[in-house]
Structures are given as structure tokens and as C-alpha cells.
Structure 1
């Protein structure tokens, strides 16, 4: 969950852990320097009443909550690439750490999570003190930092990895992440979607949605590292995610977008994160959970309506509270009239220690009495129930709902945070979408309205009543304001506080790359520019303005003159979906051309796509060389290949535009700015000379290198700008550092090309991507907060 990074050496004794300084400037454990008392009588009273654990085990839980959380991370990216990086880490860095001591204390080598597939999830207890005193550990630290900066390693709490692993995502699935920010789980979903590496463009897609627009930009920045054309980021309240229909605006029949897999990782109180969010010790109150229940249930119900029959929706929180967990699941099963069932996943992730869900619980009225049933509370308080609803209580048939199949993960079992997961399958129709396929638009609208009114009434939200719908999903629910502490700022956190990735807030809007900010509102087309109208296919908007604050998406026709020129210049094969190029400018001089998968194009082109607040979709494929005159005859193409989209378009680039490199030549490209042709081997130098000026691709294939030691096993594609007498590698410094580490194990030292610096007309320096907005160096240590 997306909280600040927490650092601290594990406490040995409880009496040492009752107080700890929280220094936001260094260790991120609080908003200011102050003493945090790790005691909350209300919390202990509440959960003892819930009987979530035996008395002895509850003591162990509280002791665990007073210790600090170890660092955990995932190795990300395509499967072969991730396995390669895992093996490099184990074989290159771990041997020097074994049986190693710092000040007489043995250093623990990072350990793989026993339940995470293929040892791609890891946990570490390294301290900053050890890294400072040990050159061996400092080298490992540089490796972690380099790979984190380019997205090959992702900081993510252990329990945050569980929900996606239980979704069972396949490459052909259409997936919705309803509450997606900050994006660690979205990245996991995308990795599963791209699991079949033989298919550069999967059949499926992922819509990552979040209620907060600023966090959507952070989400784009996080997910962008995976460079997938199958991702769309939207900005809606999860419970109000719109229905999208595939049909022309004049069509009589509607076919709704429905999802194979949905993740509802909902806003919650976050009391499973005590070990890293110390302020919760001071701010926890049971009223927060009661209030959030009235937001969580509509989100899950909306997810159920959007789910295909036979599809799977995973509901999760980082809370221990049954009112936020089992009560929400049970109410959804009842309100969908049995359309949802809890899936038995006991055989999945067998090494993960989990406890069954609860079938009995109580609901507390403010800080007063506990009630076992809604009738009991209603009899006692009537309309003064302070927000207690029937859906919060166990139903009479709760024993038939198989809530024991839910997963409860407790910190003391495997040294993690606290978490709740329920895997639900849709087994029969529920909601308007399941009854509207093939109907006329007017009939669809009538059914949708009636269904919405029915659910609102059943949830106690009579028409005109106040609803728990807020723009910032991290804020406490409005109706619970009277039950929430006045100092609610500590509760303004993303529900998934376990996600460690936290893009720099100041660069949150810089989601494309360092050189190009997110596009602003579009300029109107010049009505006299008939050529622009002919060149671009615009998705239908029914005469309405685009709902979101971003530019509309416009697809280029496959016979667009510039696309024809690029197709010829890069010798693109016939299998590439050439009708999926899109621009985000309504004038005729677009700077960037993006690419989206066919399923994404289908959604953007849907008859009512104007209802979607699309923040971002597509990957950069081509970027205009704006510093050069596109009409100059020495340049065969006014656009260059963008590194973001090279993994997608690379398999389709013809041999004429691909230059094969030796290991020595790749090192030259990485370590020399603007190397001259003569600095390469004769074969590569000749290849550059024969190539037209402009963009091309360099390929390094380890399998073709005689005597190569195998540090890197997968082929590498690099975007190159070929100038008059020199070349330029079009990747940023962080990516260069990472690649140098993987290829040689050495740090990167960059020098200028031989003889003298290139002249202005010798190299297209504007083509090199800016490093502005590059992520700051990640902190990869647990720090003693009192020593900071």
C-alpha cells in the first residue's frame, strides 16, 4: 500500500518498542518528530470483542504490531527477463554476503518469499549501518538502486502481492483494477497479461482506475515502466465506473464491456499497517470502519455488475475489521441474490500461512455497546444508530456463504502486515449489463436506472439521501465524520498502504517521459483544414465534449502520408496492426504518435466512450525530431523510434533497420556520448555508414556471442539515432546504468566521443531523452529511527 518508506532495525524486546521517534524527514514514520506510543486501548478492546484470534495468539499479534516491517520487493518485467535478473542477483551478489558480519552481527542474505512464484518476491532486513561499513553490501545496494530506478525491481509489501496472484489472470483476459493507485498491483496484472512472451501484443487489456486524478498521474508513471499498449488509466469513483457499450451511435443493439477479472482493492482503515504507519496508533477508531463499509460495499457491487458470468473478482483490504471485510462480502452475496460465491483457494499459494474468514462478528455503536444483530441495535437506538446499517451485521444465512474460504493474513504468522482477501466468482446474472445485450439503447437506460435505484434502496440510500461518494478515496467517509477523530489527516492515505513504490510528487504530472509532459486540453481543429479531417479517425463522442481533462484520442488512418513514410523507412512487417496508431492533438502537427492494442482501441472508439474519463493510454512509438526540419532530404523520416514502444514494435521492424552488435559495441554505446563510427568494430561501423540518417535499432543477441559468460540471456533492443559521422543511444542515464550493471557488473562511466565533441549539425542532440523527472534513488535499508 502506497505509504512512505519505513526504516528501522527490528526491535528485540517489547519494552524497547513501546515508544519510537517518528521523523518524516528521514524515516517516514510520521508527520513530525514526536513520540509515538504503541498502545491503543480502543483497538485492543474492539478486536478482543471480535474474537479474531485466541487470547494467546492475540498477545502475539500485538507484540508483532509493535515491531517494524522488513523491506520486501518484487523482480518485475517479462518472465524471462525477471528470471534472468533474479539469477544475476543470486549468483553475483549473494555469495559475497554469506557468513559476513558487521560489528559482530551476522548479515542476513535476502530471502525469497516461500509462496511467491519462481522466487521473484524477496524480503530483506539489511540496515543502513551495515551498508555504510561494508563495500560488499554497498555494491548490492547500487544494484538494487539501479534496477529500481528503471522499474526492474519494485518495492512492494509482501501482503500486497497476494490479491493479484489469486486473480489467475491470463493473456486474453479483460481486467479492471477498480482502485488502482499507486500501481504496484496494476503492474503485477500487466506482467500476467504479458506472460506469453511469444505474443508482443496480448489479446487482453487492463483498465486501471482511481478516484483521485493526481494519483492517476502517479499510477501512469508507475505502470509506464512496463511499456504496455494494453493499459488504460481512468479517473472515476469505483462505485460509479461507467458502463461502456460497443456499437455505432445509430445502432439499435448494445453490447456491453464486461470483465473477466476485477480487483477491488478498496479504501480501508488500514489497521493492518500498524508496523509501518505508526500514527495509526494515535488515530485508530472503530467508527472509521463503520463509515468506510458504506463505500466498500457499493464498489464491490459495481464490480460484480461489470464482471462476466464465470469471471473472478478479488476483494481485499489491509484491515482486520470484519465490518470492512466479511460483512462487505456477505452483503454483496445477499444483494446479488447468490450471483457471487466465495471461491476455495486453499490449494493456491500453499506456502502462504492464512487463517479462515469469520462467520460471526459484532458491530460497535460509536465507542459504546456491541451488537450482534441489526434488530438489536435498531431496538436500542432507532434512528440514532449513527450510521449502523443492516449490511454490517451477519445475516441469518451467513453460515451458507462459505466465508471461511476468505483469507486472513496476520503479521505474527510470517512477519508481514495484516491483510484480508476474498476471491469471488460470478455464477449467474446480476445487474443491468447481464440483461441488456442486444437491446435498444432506451431499454438499456431504463434497466440500468431501475437496477441502480433497487441497490440504493437495499443499501439504505434512498433517492436523494447522502451517498458516500468522494473524489479522494483516501479521505474518511463523510457520514462517519461524527465518529471520526478531528485529526483525520492521518486517515487520508491510500487504502493499499503496503505498496512501497512512491513516485516523486513534484513530477506526478510528468507521466510521458522527462522530455514531454502529459498533454493538456486539446486545441480545436481548424475547420478549413480538410486534410487533417481526412487523415484522422475520431472516436464517436455524440456531440459531447470529452469528459476528462486530457486531450481526446484520435486514430490515424493507415494510409496517412507520414505513417506510410515511417512504415517504409522502418520496413514494418505486414503483421503489425497499423490502424492502432493514435495522437493526442487536434491540430495537424503532432509531436508524438502512440500505439494502443486493438481491445483498447475498441473501447476508445465505443459509442459512449465519452463517459470514460481517460487519463492515459497507449505507449509512445514515434517522436518527431522537432529540432530538425522534417523536409530536409538527408533525413529519411522525420520521426524517431521511442524507447518506450520498442519492445512492442521491435519484432515487426525489418532487418534493414536492425544492426547487430557485439558485446564490445554495446559497451561503447553505453559508455560513450556520441561515439564516432570508427569507435565501433568494422562490421558495425560499416552498417551505420550504409544506413540512412535517422532512427534505427541495434540488437544484442547473447546467443550469437562466442564465449559470452551468460550474465544476460535475453536479446536486447536499443534505439539509435544515426547522424552524419556519429550515433546517439536514445535511452536515459538510469537505463544505461542498469544495463551496464547487468552486462558487466560494473558502474557506468560516460565519456565523450573521440577526437572532439560533435558539432551541432553532426548529432541530433534533441533526440536524446531528457532525464528530468527520473525517479530519485530509492532507499533500500531499514534504519534505526532513533539513530537517524
Structure 2
């Protein structure tokens, strides 16, 4: 393979790195995932050269020796060029995308130096060795059996052999040794991005790089990962009452420390307890865990540069809606449960200035029982992938905001692309439940403990069967994207937040709802679904065109608790027309809008015409 072809091959694979760099820069892919993937691909080519190509080429029983040698040296040249391209791709990723993984750069530097030595010094020696072996295999062949191109290539090989000495075996040994070191280096580099490492702010005395690259967002990113790792570790402990585990970080940030421990205790629901080990090492100077802290947020560019002042939030309710749940979940704040808050001082904090050490956090947890512990059946980490908008909560369009002020809400008025973000399934917040319960007058007998959402700021609330709640929400299945029955959907407009009833969850919720219900006739529903334009979009239907029954009951609902989501109840006779007896609607000052999808509207319109 000539130099030009090798160069093109290297550029092509460097382009792969450019693609991953672009994906990381625009947040389509995390920097760690991109770097880990590229390094593992590079590792695969290293293994292909050293452990596959060099061994397999002479194992084909019907392949002549000279063909095996020629194929081997061509593959060797191609794979070496691919390595150079992937190395360049990793450096492109490093320079084009901000990195907070300075320790990993030294591994990349070592792998690059090894590749440079191999490509510039050892590769030519091994290629010459292959040409000597190929010349010996071909010199006895009849020239007439070769094509013109083969004769030209053989002439070049013969010329190289005649003017140079055969390289010594030591070059091959050095190349193989460099390959093994490179394998370990690339594996270490990839694993660096695959493990959940702390932000490391406790190592500021020895880690100079940390002073320039530390950002509050590091802890926010690691917080949910550390919770999942902690739950998985707890699930693996034996259920004998004496099994313990240690959660430790080289960070001083409460978001990575006490907040994680508090969330582990909360989700374990009594299955874990925090052990007081402050007296176990009397010579060690420690400080107790903290019980109150604030959470920091700072918007940054793709290069890691601050684009807004640092913000501090003392409580979850003060976090902007677009950050709630998606970027800053409630678990990052001090626990509301006083029992959990009281035991947090049992954690140990080691400050660098107390005993000339690094900064560390240590918490010892004992597993006292299995029942109630999330993840006790799981085979892997719980999945927390859900579809959400790129900015968390979708901002209503200007048109929707204007109409909302008049009591009219447009649904799906601005379809936007969604992306996958990592979020855990969590119980519905107590204040959210109280809001929903009061708004709809839901009876106390309703099992609200089974209401879950996929994040604090998610747009949906799901009702989960108690028999599967523990296994599924704890992460028994590693790729759960959805579970439970969607019963409420979040609607925000004109600065107010509602939770509307969903079509699919209506049957489960109807027996428990005592408020926000308006009686209607079958003729009302027929008129609404037959309104012009209702076959293509949700249409606001004038209330004055409805029956007196619906007008009066809708007016009573508005007077009692204002415009917003409502339940329209029809007589049982609607079933004779294959129409539902209850439907979710939006009631404005002068309009009604069915909150059902197009398929349901079409089905009702067809049934009403029979």
C-alpha cells in the first residue's frame, strides 16, 4: 500500500473522530461516550493487528506462503494507517470539545507516543522484514507467471532487499511490547470514561488541573449516576443484617455526598441504615456530615466557558421550571424527611487542612433487610432513559401564550424534536399530589403512593401497579423506557401549572374524582366532534352552542376553580352509540376543547353518524 492510500485511510478515520467531536459539541453525545467509543475502536484495531492478522494469515491451508505474506503486509499497512486516523480523531475530540478529564489526557499522550514510535521507526523495519520474507518466497517463481504490475512490485522489493540489510528480530519484539503497553493504555483510557468518577474537588492540593477546569455542573452530572451505583451495590449485599458497604468520594460537594446518601436512604425505605463510625479510628481527624447546603448552577458554552453568573438555590422550589427535574432534581437538596436529615452527621468529612490529607467523604451503610430496597432483583443498573425536550420543559409558543390568557390552550402547537436524557423514576412529589388532589377533589381512598413520574420536571404522571412497582421502578429490566398507565399530563400556560386528565387514564381515575366535572348530553359531544376542522386538529368549541346542562355545569366549574382541565360526563345512553361516558376537556371562558387524539375524535365522529 503506497503512502497516498495510507494517508487517505488515516484521513477517513480521523473524519470519524470529527463526527464524534461534532456530536459531543452539540450535546448529541457525551464527551465521555465519544472518547470511550473511539478508544475502544482503536483498541480493536490494535488487537486485530497483533492478535489476529499476524496469527491467522499463515493458517489458511490452501493459501501459498507468498500470498499470505503479501496479504499480511498490506493489512498491516492499512491497519497501522487506521490507528493513526483514530488517534488524530481522539485529539480532535479533545481540542474541539471542552474536557474535564485531564488525568485521561496523559493516557492518550502515552498511546500517541507509542504509535508515533511504531509508525516512524518500527513500522518501516517490520515492512522491510516482510519484504525479505516475500522476496525469498517469490525468487524461485517463473517471471512469466506474473502480471506486469506484479513484476514491477517484485522489482521494487528486490531492489530494497539488495541495498539494505535484513532487520534484526529485536524490532519485532519491541513492536509487540509496544502493542501490549498500548493495549493496556487504551483500555485504561476507555475505562476512565466508563466509570462514575467524582468531580474530585477534594484533590485540589495535588491536582493543579482541577483549579482551571472545575465547574459546578460536574457534580450535577454525576449525582444520578452515583445514586444508581449506590443502589446497585446495595442490591448486591447479602441479606443477613450485617452486610455493609462504604460510599466514598474524593469530593467535598454535598451534591455528590450527603445528597446521594440521603437519596439512597429514602429510596431504600428502611432497608439501609447509616452507621456511626466516627469512633472507629480515633487518630483520624474528621468532621460530621452536613445537613443543609445550597445547589449551584451556571450555564456554560460547549467549550466550558461560563455564559451566565453563578446561581445558588437554597431549596428546590426556587429552581426555575426549565431546570427542575431534568438538570436539577429534588434529590440534590437537603432531605425533607427529618429522620434522614438527623442521621447525616454520621457521615465523615476529611478536610485537607485538618490532617494534611486530601479531601474525602465517607459514609458506611448497613443493609438491615431486603424488603423495600430498590433493585434487589436487578441484573444491572436501573435505566433512566426517558424522552424529554432538550431544555427540560417545553416553552409554549407565543401564539399559545396569547390564547391561554383567554382561557384557550393549544396542544402540540409546536412539535419539536426530542432527545434522550437520563432520568430516574421517582414518586410523585407530595406537593404536586396535594395540588392534583385539591383541584379534582380526589378521594382519600385513591392509592396515590402508586403515582410515579420519570423525572421531577416530566410532563407525565403514571399510575403503577403495586405488584410490579418495586421490580420495574428499581431497575430489574436494564432498558425500561416506559411503565405504568399515564393518568395526568402537565400543562403550563400564562404562568400557571395544571395537570390535566389523560384519555387513557380516565377510567382508573373517574371513580375517585368529585370536582371539575361537568354534565353534558350526547348531543353536545356529537356537535363538538362534528365541528368543522375537528378532523384535523383540536378545535375550541363555543360553549354558547352547547346544551343548557353543559353551559350551567361548566360555568359552575369555572366559578369554583377557574378555567383549565375538566371532565365532561355524559349519560349512560352514550354507550348505545359506542361513545364514551366521560372525556377530558379544557374549559375556557367561552370555549370547550376536547383533549383527545385525532384517532379518538375520528372514531367518535364516525360513531355519531351511525
TM-score w.r.t. the length of structure 1 is 0.25
The structure with higher relative contact order (CA 8 Å, sep 6+) is 1
**Which structure would you say has the larger Rg?**
2
TM-score w.r.t. the length of structure 2 is 0.31
Q: Which structure features the higher share of helix residues? A: 2
